[in-house]
Chains A and B, each alone.
Chain A
Amino acid sequence: MTSLYTLTDLSKGYTRGKESITIFEELTMTIPEGDFMAIMGPSGSGKTTLLNLLGGIDRPTSGSVECQGVRVDKLSEGKLAKWRSQNVGFIFQFYNLMPTLTAAQNVELPLLLTGLSGKQRKERVATALDIVGLADRKGHRPRQLSGGQQQRVAIARAIVADPKVLLCDEPTGDLDRKSADEILETLQLLNKDLGKTIVMVTHDPSAARYARRELHLDKGRFVEQVQEPAQ
């Protein structure tokens, strides 16, 4: 498989007062296109930080993040925002929907950054909501939806602009088991049927089993475990 991401000697740390804290050092890895990778590890191991670096919402202390030939860590803020809008779909633990917008309006947000007409945007939104099984809830506001439904709206928002990669930060962390399984099945479907590359941070082993492989991040190092996806 062609590699989507290449991380080379990636280090990230920050200072708190006079204290220097290293999260990870000289991390090198590739993420192939079409992968579904679960990143696990204890709290503070740098799982979310890694996800932020992949998504271009944080910058490394040193090393490089390359995505299909683009040095993401070197892009200016403006270019980085454009790159994110074209390549990355984010799914957050707390859904991060706009409470005053309807499901359809939330899903439409990434499309406002494209040159699509209003009609084209509507069609794309309908398709995305259909994929996550919420076509009949397009006029509902987030507070009128359950947690699982809100996360599915967030997934629709993440895929509507057809990005190459979905970055999921504890996507089932706020959900009950049944809703969590539905979300994970949806992610698996997106990976298998639509070929989306998915990087998912989770602390839940049963969630990680939906991925093609698990990476355990501990003390700044990866331990890889390849597995058959859960059925």
Chain B
Amino acid sequence: MFNQIGAVTMINLRSIPQRAGLSLATIISIALVTGVLLGFLAMSNGFRATLQGTGSESVAVMLRAGSQAELNSGLSSDQVRLIEEAPGIARDAEGAPLVSGELFVIVDGIKRSSQTEANLPLRGVGTQALALRDGFQMVEGRMFEPGTNELVVGAGVIREFSNFDLGETIRLGPNEWVIVGIFSTGGSVFDSEIWADIAVIQNLYNRGTGVQSIRARLTSPEAITELQAYEEGEPRLNLDVQSETDFFAGQAGGTAVLIEIIGWPLAIVMAIGALAGAWNTMYSSVDTRMREIATLRAIGFSGFAAAVGTMVESLVLAAIGGLVGAGATYLVFNGVSASTLGSGFTQVVFSFAVTGGSVLAGMIMAVIIGFFGGLVPAIRSAYVPLLTVHRSE
């Protein structure tokens, strides 16, 4: 039986050039489906990886209870003092608690790609903020001087937004700032931010001594429970306390899921179109080879071998389409930097990530198209009337 299937498959595959136009159309349509699906998955993966890559289990993030995002949170400096005294908080070599109260305001930046305005987060931080970001490093320039109108800018902002080059003076709202440094946190969400001295931001934006979030380094990941228990037992605190990992996973979820919600149905609708194309191609393949198939059957080949041969041809076309789509998506999109609106209503810069998992999903989809596109023609080839052997071409 394997000999039969092998021979029929070889005959089918070698005859593909005779139907080059239709076969190519099928390959291209399946490649497009795979490409669109992988494009969306790459976007979703990249976005998720950026936000999830940001989190640390050893850092706690605290917002006003129920606020969910930094933007609508508001905390007093008293609450920062209370957290500094809380159990489970790590301290630096001098014994100072590693706690950072931070402000988060939105400013306008000009996107390089579209030259349109988009929201950028301007974060007010103190000196402890750096100790709370693993992998923080100044790529160029220096850190801002406290008490001055100096900014440091994340590497992602430089890539995606105009007018943030080192040494430039930029007007953000009513205020002018000087860019003195470019920092990186290894591709995390903080790379999409601009940082300045918290005291200056509080002053310029009339925030008094208030902050919007508190970050604290924990003595260990398990210390989060101690901190949560402390917050519950302290009536002057009204906070949501969670690990940074959990915080960003929650932030990533919504947008990544939204991208996938758009991507999958679009790919499925396109897949239905590609399926019709594959069906047409395979029907034509069986049609043009009716006499060949009937001859093989007359010689003694089984209908099953004829059906498998047709199915394999369909699957091969689909797999080629899938590989072309995946390869093109990888070459065009993988690692490409983009930005989109994150949960904090600000732009998050991320890189498209074409992962093995999403390539697998794309290939599975291509093979499913090939299978269903080839199914009816394969059944038809198994039942080609034997008397077709007498047909002239």
Instruction: Report A's interface with B, CB cutoff 8 A.
Output: 48, 52, 55, 57-58, 77-78, 81-82, 84-86, 90, 92-94, 96, 98-101, 109-110, 112-113, 157, 169
Residues in B1-32 with C-beta less than 8 Å from chain A: 3-4, 6-7, 10-11, 14-15
Give the residues from 285 to 306 in chain B that come closer than 8 angstroms, CB to CB, to chain A: 291-292, 295-303
Given A85-B299, A109-B299, A113-B3, A92 and B15 contact (CB-CB distance below 8 Å): no
Q: Please state if A52 and B296 are interface contacts (CB–CB under 8 Å).
A: no
* In contact, A109 and B15 (Cβ under 8 angstroms): no
- Which of A85, A109, A110 is most buried by chain B, counting CB atoms within 10 A of its CB? A109
Chain B's closest residue to A158 (CB) is B299
B45 → chain A closest CB, angstroms:
42
List residues of chain A with CB within 8 A of the CB of B15: 99-100
Residue ID in chain B nearest A85 by CB atoms: B300
Question: With A90-B298, A99-B15, A100-B15 as given contacts, are A77 and B389 in contact (CB-CB < 8 Å)?
Answer: no
Partner of A93, one of B292, B295, B296, B390: B390
B299 touches A52 (CB 8 A): no
Interface contact A113-B389, CB-CB below 8 Å: no
B85 at the interface (CB under 8 A from A): no
Top 8 A-B pairs, shortest CB-CB distance: A85-B300, A100-B14, A112-B3, A57-B386, A96-B295, A84-B300, A113-B300, A81-B300
B92 beta carbon closer than 8 Å to chain A: no
**Known contacts A86-B300, A100-B14, A100-B15, then 10 further A-B pairs from the complex at CB < 8 Å, ordered by chain A residue:** A48-B390, A57-B298, A77-B303, A81-B300, A85-B299, A85-B300, A96-B292, A99-B15, A109-B7, A109-B296
Q: How far is the CB of B387 from chain A (nearest CB, A)?
A: 6
Distance (whole angstroms) from the CB of B162 to the closest CB of chain A? 58
Interface 1/0 per residue, B367-393 and A, CB below 8 Å:
000000000000000000011011011
Binding site for A on B (CB under 8 A): 3-4, 6-7, 10-11, 14-15, 291-292, 295-303, 386-387, 389-390, 392-393
**Chain A hits for B10, CB < 8 A:** 100-101
Whole-angstrom CA separation of A86 from B392 in the bound complex: 26
Closest chain-B Cβ to A164's Cβ sits at a distance in Å of 14
Q: Residues of A contacting B389 with CB < 8 Å?
A: 57, 90, 92, 96
Contact status B302-A78, CB under 8 Å: yes
Which residue of the partner chain B has the closest CB to A116?
B3
Q: Kindly list chain B residues whose C-beta atoms are within 8 Å of the C-beta of A57.
A: 298, 386-387, 389
Residues in A neighbouring B392, C-beta threshold 8 A: 93-94
Q: Do the beta carbons of B14 and A90 come within 8 Å of each other?
A: no
Tell me which of A48, A85, A99, A112 has the highest count of chain B C-beta atoms within 10 A of its own C-beta. Answer: A112
| Chain B residue at minimum C-beta to C-beta distance from A87 | B300
- B contact residues around A90 at 8 Å (CB): 295, 298-299, 389
Provide 22 A-B residue pairs closer than 8 Å at the C-beta atoms, listed in order of the A residue: A52-B387, A55-B298, A58-B386, A77-B303, A81-B300, A82-B300, A84-B298, A84-B300, A86-B300, A92-B295, A92-B390, A93-B390, A93-B392, A94-B392, A96-B291, A96-B295, A99-B292, A100-B10, A100-B14, A113-B4, A113-B299, A113-B301
Q: Which of B14, B300, B302 contacts A110 (CB 8 A)?
A: B300
CA distance A109 to B8 in the complex (A): 10
Within the complex, the shortest CB–CB distance from B356 to chain A, in Å, comes to: 36
| Contact among B11, B303, B390 for A100, CB-based, below 8 A | B11
Question: What is the CB-to-nearest-CB distance from B304 to chain A, in angstroms, rounded to a whole number?
Answer: 9
Query: Is the pair B298, A98 in contact by a Cβ cutoff of 8 Å?
Result: no
**A60 to B278 alpha-carbon distance, docked (Å):** 38
Which residue from chain B places its CB closest to the CB of A110 in the assembled complex? B299
Q: Do residues A101 and B302 form an inter-chain contact, with CB atoms below 8 A?
A: no
When distances are taken between beta carbons in the complex, the residues of chain B under 8 Å from A99 are 15, 292
> Whole-angstrom distance between the alpha carbons of A98 and B14 in the complex?
10
Instruction: Evaluate contact between A98 and B300: CB separation under 8 angstroms.
Output: no
Q: Are B393 and A94 in contact (CB under 8 A)?
A: yes
A81-B14 contact in complex given A93-B390, A96-B295, A112-B3, C-beta closer than 8 Å: no
User: Of all chain B residues, which has the CB nearest A98?
Assistant: B11
Residues of B within 8 A of A77 (CB): 303
Contact, CB under 8 Å: A101 / B14: yes
Q: Which residues of B contact A101 (CB under 8 A)?
A: 10-11, 14
Complex Cα–Cα for A55 and B295 (A): 12
| Residue ID in chain A nearest B11 by CB atoms | A98
B3–chain A nearest beta-carbon distance, Å: 4
Task: Report chain A residues within 8 Å CB of B295.
Answer: 90, 92, 96, 98
Cα–Cα, bound, A57→B300 (Å): 10
CB distance from A52 to the nearest CB of B (A): 6
A169 to B15, alpha carbons, bound, how many Å? 26
Q: How far is the CB of A111 from chain B (nearest CB, A)?
A: 9
Contact B387 A112 (CB under 8 A): no
Query: In whole angstroms, what is the CA distance A57 to B387 when docked?
Result: 7
